[in-house]
Amino acid sequence: MGHTPHRVGVYFGLVQFLFTLTWTVYVIFLPRLAAQVGIPKAYVPYILMLDQLVFVAMDYTMGVAADRAANVLGRVGHIVLAVTIASCLAFLLIPFVAAQSSLIFFVTVLVLWAATSSVLRAPPMVLLGRHAPRSQVPWLAALSVLGLGVAGAAGPYLTLVLRGMDPRLPFALSSLALVLATLGIIWAEQTLAKSGEAAPGSLDAQGPESGQSPAVFLAAILLLAIGFQVHFSLNSAPLYSHFLAPPQVERAMPVFWIGFSLIMLPAGKATERLGGIAVAGTGGIVAAFAAWGAATADTVTMLLTMQLLAGAGWGLVLTSAVSAAIAIGHVGREGKLTGSVFALLAVASFARLAIVATELLKDPEYAPLLTWLPVAAWGTGGLVLLLMFVRYRTKVAAAVSQAP
């Protein structure tokens, strides 16, 4: 594996880390900023739902646009940089606009930020799919996604540190850091282009993603994403509260992301050998088992262990799903497929926020369903992907048996 492409993967991980931190800062301060323009706290989930709808539309749009731009070397990097600068400017303005108590202007800036920030989701993955040697894509994708895990683990602690602070400073610092980091995107595109691209090879060399149905793959990803949203965002804190006091619950939440981060690099290696569909399917089954174990845990030690395992399962899913999307879309639809994956993650987040906004968690009829929904969603999504992998292996075996 070339040393330079490895550095590009680390760079993408840094960008994803900083991008995710901006979202964390936004969520921390949104209730206070919304109150300044007259929006009650009860309506904050609806603002977040609007953000997710914007992500759904823009993730797909940005992915398709990146596919078209990737035909000219250097164009994706320049587009990402320009749009990111606009996005960070909008993000920087959010607390200042809120201070002016202008509701329409405030919502407009929020939508502009959400729309432009999508440029840092699918387009960088297009660069990996178009320019990196195919054998290195899983490893580089793992390094990229690692930034999400590290930021997720830091999120609860960041909440404790920033609580009560003037929002203008963290908004300004996170905007500046993300712009400075994104300045390297043109270097990353040129470096990947120099690393060359592997030849497609035979059916077996192309991997389990060859000839797979994008629709079935994306349906499985949606199920897996719903499992993650319900388990981590809705179920984890109540499960911890059975054993821990509220301050301890906040400190325990990053355990999931620790498991996520620890599995990233092994997941990249496993994806190189087995393909993204097999690893994502395995991750879904592991996460489903962990969700069941967490729901039935009778000690805090067992719960922490299951949360660590659930994070590892989701890490297997997310890392290999990105690699699989790139492979299924190769050549020419990498952005469309990866953009679709990110869009479905936003759909799942929208569904979770809708559950919160409608207060279904407080309804005793639905509470048991939410407890077991991650088990069903993760398990079904994982099983679908594993069946896709078995279908591919059967196809390869039949081709080999018929060879002269």
Tens-digit pLDDT profile for residues 163-191: 888 999 999 999 999 999 999 998 988 88
pLDDT of residue 200: 40
Rg (CA), the chain: 21
- What is d(CA 150, CA 264) in angstroms, rounded to the nearest whole number? 10
Instruction: Give yes or no for residue 71 having a pLDDT over 80.
Output: no
pLDDT tens string 193-213: 887 544 343 333 456 776 788
Position with higher pLDDT, 274 vs 156: 274
- What span, in angstroms and rounded, lies between the C-alpha atoms of 255 and 243? 15
Which of 131-145, 256-270, 325-339 ranks highest by mean pLDDT? 256-270
Residue 375 pLDDT exceeds 60: yes
The string of pLDDT tens digits covering residues 293-302 is: 999 999 999 9
pLDDT: which is higher, 208 or 128: 128
CATH superfamily of 3-392: MFS general substrate transporter like domains (1.20.1250.20)
Candidate ranges 214-218, 245-249, 330-334; pick with highest mean pLDDT: 214-218
Q: Is the pTM of this model over 0.85?
A: yes
Q: Assign 341 to helix, strand or coil.
A: helix
The pLDDT of residue 289 is above 50:
yes
Peptide bond preceding 331 in cis form (omega within 30 of 0): yes
pLDDT surpasses 80 at 367: no
| Cβ count near 2 (within 10 Å) | 14
For 388, half-sphere exposure in the C-beta direction (CA atoms, 13 angstrom radius) is 32
Q: How far is CA 352 from the centre of its chain?
A: 15
Is 137's pLDDT higher than 80? yes
Please return the burial class of 23, using the count of CB atoms within 10 Å of its CB with bins 0-12, 13-18 and 19+.
Answer: middle
Instruction: Supply the pLDDT for residue 197.
Output: 45
The pLDDT value given to residue 233: 93
**pLDDT in the model for residue 403:** 62
Q: pLDDT-based confidence at 4, cuts 50/70/90?
A: low
Own/partner pairs for 85-91, CB < 8 Å, 24+ apart? 85/179, 85/182, 86/112, 86/116, 87/112, 87/113, 87/116, 87/117, 87/119, 87/120, 88/175, 88/176, 88/178, 88/179, 89/175, 90/116, 91/22, 91/26, 91/117, 91/171, 91/174, 91/175
C-alpha to C-alpha distance for 381 and 188, rounded to whole angstroms: 33
Distance between CA atoms of 345 and 311, rounded to whole angstroms? 16
Report residue 309's pLDDT band, with 50, 70 and 90 as the boundaries: very high
Q: What is the pLDDT of residue 203?
A: 34
Question: What are the structural domain ranges in the chain?
Answer: 3-392
Average pLDDT over the chain, rounded to an integer: 88
Q: Which helix (DSSP H) or strand (DSSP E) does residue 79 occupy?
A: helix 75-99
Give one word for 202, left, alpha or beta, with left for phi > 0 and alpha for psi -120 to 50.
Answer: beta
